[in-house]
């Protein structure tokens, strides 16, 4: 390995383990092979983060527009990064409306969130939706990375059953769709996701490496240590620090994964440290592990496209850790109750805090002339506005990152109410290099971002 043959496609390898590398200064086009010199030195990423049951809109929507707007009570939680995101008001998801199908707004809000389509009302096998923006983009540009896309979340996906007024659970628990009848189940197990990101080149190698790691209680980094040491010697000092920080992050995530289960003791009294099974019970720890690995996946260019569902549609999860003992869905039908609206606002602030953790992590990763977040465009929001009204216009939408300089961040932008959310998606697809002149119910490209 030498700097003349070093590119961002380089992997540290050993014992069936492959660890991708972060963006480094030596990966600039002038340092790559001629065959790789045409690659974009800093790739652009896109992500979509969904929260259920809408938002308490008075605490969400800023009063003023432009860059001098005052942060609302909910969005104020991101004040340390206010120059890294835009709040977008007025965007609409027409596909989530009833259109004669009656109840089922929660299921429709998820099914339409990334597709812009109106899902067929059925709880049988004849589901019909549209392709989602992440998959439409991945089908065109996903071959540039190890994983065309990652579909993640904190609650399991279902592919059958009746989940909302006659709508299949496939609609309520999946927002990523490879095709009209093909929902993409999400991964919720941090341990399984870690194994996917740091797997070998074959299933056999991956299983062998995992077995050895468990037997000898080793880190994935122990198997690639020789490769890492050789690389470290030939890097300039600034990249040596980047490599050290990245490898520390990998080991830290792995350490925290290992603590997600209680310590087991074998018959001989010797502690056993198996790979974690299941997910952490605490939502804080679960979400942070997933956000850390999303950061690692994007940092190493393992993928450029991520979708993430905090919970499934109509989730009735309670949040006792933050003083909310009632179910989220039940509270969203607040009937203008001041108590219920305050509880909803509390949940909203909790979710935005979880997203803020990701924003903080991505902002801390230096890349090119900016950060990992600077080279991304990350949507956060819901397919419902006010949970009591079940309306799908003027949605709570936040766009983080500035797409490598293509977005002027730090503003509240108000669009004409009724503007299709898919206008934004179409613009994002084109920035990613996907060829498209229409998506979902788009009627043009979003403006005011540059």
Closest CA to 343 of 328, 362, 363, 359: 328
Name the domain boundary from 229, 247, 278.
278
- Report the helix count and the strand count for the chain, using DSSP H and E: 13, 17
Is the domain of 51 the same as that of 128? yes
Determine the pLDDT at residue 100. 97
**Residues 86 and 52 reside in one and the same domain:** yes
Considering only CA atoms, which of 120, 113, 117 is closest in space to residue 130? 117
CATH of the domain at 428: 3.40.720.10
- Pairing of β 370-371 and β 11-14: unpaired
Which residue blocks in 328-417 are alpha helix, DSSP H? 328-332, 338-364
Cα–Cα distance measured from residue 244 to residue 200, given in angstroms and rounded to the nearest whole number: 22
pLDDT at residue 32 in the model: 38
pLDDT tens for the chain, 450 residues long, are: 444 445 544 555 544 455 566 666 665 544 433 434 444 468 999 999 999 999 999 999 999 999 999 999 999 999 999 999 999 999 999 999 999 999 999 999 999 999 999 999 999 999 999 999 999 999 999 999 989 999 999 999 988 889 999 999 999 999 999 999 999 999 999 888 888 887 654 444 444 445 544 443 455 555 556 666 677 677 777 677 766 766 666 666 666 666 544 333 333 333 333 334 557 888 999 999 999 989 989 988 889 999 999 999 999 999 999 999 999 999 999 999 999 999 999 999 999 999 999 999 999 998 888 999 999 999 999 999 999 999 999 999 999 999 999 999 999 999 999 999 999 999 999 999 999 999 999 999 999 999
Domain end (from 278, 301, 322): 278
Are 331 and 197 in a shared domain?
no
Residues 209 and 311 in one domain: no
What confidence score (pLDDT) does residue 279 get?
A: 78
User: Could you count the other beta carbons within 10 Å of the beta carbon of residue 418?
Assistant: 11
Across 162-195, b (16+ Cβ under 10 Å) vs e yields ebbbebbbbbbbbbbbbeeeebbebbbbbbebbb
Q: Report the domain count for the chain.
A: 2
* One domain for residues 268 and 178: no
Q: Are residues 257 and 292 in the same domain?
A: no
Pairwise CA distance, residues 221 & 319, whole Å: 36
What pLDDT is attached to residue 246?
Answer: 64
Considering the domain architecture, whether residues 424 and 371 belong to the same structural domain is answered as yes
238, 256, 278: which is the final residue of a domain?
278
Are 214 and 311 in a shared domain?
Answer: no
Same-domain status, 318 and 345: yes
**263 and 315 inside one domain:** no
Residues 15 and 96 grouped into a single domain: no
pTM recorded for the entire structure: 0.81
* Same-domain pairing of 317 and 238: no
Residue 270 has what pLDDT? 34
How many angstroms separate the CA atoms of 47 and 304, rounded?
Answer: 8
- Domain that residue 157 falls in: 44-188+283-450
């Amino acid at each position: 390995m030498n700097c003349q043959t070093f590119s961002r496609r380089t992997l540290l390898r050993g014992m069936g383990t492959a660890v991708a590398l972060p963006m480094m200064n030596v990966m600039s086009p002038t340092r790559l092979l001629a065959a790789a010199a045409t690659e974009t030195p800093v790739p652009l990423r896109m992500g979509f983060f969904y929260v259920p049951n809408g938002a308490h809109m008075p605490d969400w929507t800023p009063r003023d527009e432009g860059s001098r707007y005052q942060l609302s009570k909910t969005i104020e939680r991101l004040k340390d990064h206010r120059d890294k995101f835009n709040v977008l008001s007025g965007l609409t998801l027409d596909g989530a409306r009833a259109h004669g199908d009656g109840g089922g707004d929660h299921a429709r809000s998820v099914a339409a969130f990334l597709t812009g389509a109106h899902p067929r009302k059925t709880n049988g096998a004849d589901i019909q939706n549209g392709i989602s923006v992440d998959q439409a983009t991945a089908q065109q540009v996903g071959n540039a990375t190890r994983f065309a896309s990652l579909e993640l979340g904190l609650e399991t996906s279902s592919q059958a059953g009746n989940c909302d007024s006659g709508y299949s659970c496939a609609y309520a628990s999946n927002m990523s769709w490879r095709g009209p009848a093909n929902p993409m189940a999400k991964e919720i197990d941090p341990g399984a996701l870690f194994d996917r990101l740091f797997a070998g080149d074959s299933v056999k190698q991956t299983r062998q490496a995992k077995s050895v790691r468990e037997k000898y209680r080793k880190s994935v980094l122990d198997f690639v240590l020789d490769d890492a040491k050789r690389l470290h010697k030939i890097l300039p000092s600034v990249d040596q620090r980047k490599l050290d920080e990245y490898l520390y992050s990998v080991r830290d995530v792995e350490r925290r994964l290992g603590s997600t289960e209680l310590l087991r003791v074998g018959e001989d009294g010797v502690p056993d440290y198996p790979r974690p099974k299941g997910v952490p019970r605490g939502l804080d720890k679960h979400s942070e592990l997933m956000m850390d690995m999303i950061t690692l996946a994007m940092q190493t260019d393992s993928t450029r496209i991520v979708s993430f569902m905090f919970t499934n549609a109509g989730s009735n999860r309670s949040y006792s850790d933050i003083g909310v003992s009632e179910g989220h869905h039940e509270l969203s039908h607040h009937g203008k109750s001041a108590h219920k609206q305050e509880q909803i606002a509390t949940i909203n602030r909790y979710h935005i805090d979880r997203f803020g953790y990701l924003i903080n992590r991505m902002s801390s990763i230096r890349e090119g002339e900016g950060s990992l977040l600077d080279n991304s465009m990350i949507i956060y929001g819901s397919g419902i506005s006010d949970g009591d009204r079940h309306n799908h216009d003027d949605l709570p939408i936040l766009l983080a990152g500035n797409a490598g300089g293509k977005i002027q961040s730090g503003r509240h932008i108000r669009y004409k109410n009724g503007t299709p959310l898919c206008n934004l998606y179409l613009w994002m697809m084109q920035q990613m290099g996907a060829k498209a002149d229409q998506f979902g119910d788009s009627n043009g490209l979003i403006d005011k971002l540059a």
